[in-house]
Each structure stands twice: as structure tokens, then as C-alpha cells.
Amino acid sequence: MIQVLILLANGFEEAEALVPADLLIRAGADVRLVSLEGDGLVAGSHGFRVMPDCAVGEADVSSAQCLFLPGGKAGTERLSESEDVRRMLKTAEQNGILIAAICAAPSVLGKYGFLNGRRYTCYPGFEQAVAGGIKTDKKVELDDIFLTGEGMGVAQEFGFAMVRYLFGEQTEKELRQKTRS
């Protein structure tokens, strides 16, 4: 089964995390919410609280097919300060695992040089944190194993892009048809 790890820190953007998570679950993924905050509730940027499946120290990125970082300014700052996140990103890159980041979260990838020479997109104003990357005007951008999205307004398209990458175009097409009604 395809496993997706979604890294959550207090201040994450709820729609950016949960809309793609919903689409991935509908496609058949095993989605795991991974908390930087331990095993308690994680607070989103708008006050919604979610229960994670595990703490960051318990997650095994090498058995996943996708590592996903949602945005949200405060959550992104916490992700960028975490040595566990840096380690997980490095493992994912070394193993060719899809690394997805939306809104402010591509700045975490930029901080560690993962987007050097790569096309990406992000929320306007965060591109200065991605020195060495090639900013495009696309809403969702895929370059090799790096999938980036502009922000909350493209959370659904971003989720569909993850489904397409992980499950193929046919599954994406079928899921789009099912979610229209």
C-alpha cells in the first residue's frame, strides 16, 4: 500500500494538509499524520486541532512513498527548525520518495538546498527563501521528485497532482469524476 507521511506542526494550514489527505485516502493511500509536537493534538493556523497518528520520532520515511509538508507560516517555521524534518527530507531524497510542499513549505526545501536548480512554486513572498531554485508561475509544479504548490487555493489541484504521481493518471481521472457530484 502506498504510504504518505504528512508532517504537522502547530500553525499548519488546515486546508493545505487535509484536502490533499482526503484525496489521497480516497485514492487508496495509507495517510499518516506525523506530529512535531509529540503525541498530543496539533493546532492548525485557524484553531482546528487534529490528532496525529504518531510523533515525528516514530515515523519511518524510508517505508513511505511520499513525504508531504503543508504550509502555514508558523507551522512552516517550526518544520524548518526541526532536525528530524531535515533528516527525513534527506532520507526521502536519497530514496527517490516524492517530496511535496505547498504554500510557505517550499521554503523549508529551499533552506536545505533541495530545490537548487529545480523548478518550483510557492506562496508569493516565500521565494526569497529558495535561493538557487527556478520559480515558475504555475499553481502546481513538479520537478523530478519535488512537487510544490502555490497555496491554499490550489490545495485540491495539489492533492490531485499527488494522486497522479503516486497512483497514475487513470486513478486521478476516476477520482476527479467521483468528487464532482
Cell of 158: 495539489
What's the CA gap between 142 and 135, in Å, rounded?
A: 12
Q: Output the CA torsion 96→3→34→70 (10° steps).
A: 70
Type and span of the H or E element at 50 = strand 49-50
CA angle (175, 6, 62) in 5-degree steps? 100
Cα–Cα distance list, 82 to 22, 41, 75, 86, 115 (Å): 26, 18, 11, 6, 18
Could you tell me the maximum CA-CA distance found in the chain, to the nearest angstrom? 43
What's the CA gap between 20 and 157, in Å, rounded?
A: 8
Place of cell 507551522: 75
Q: Is 54 one of the catalytic residues?
A: no
Residues designated as active site: 103
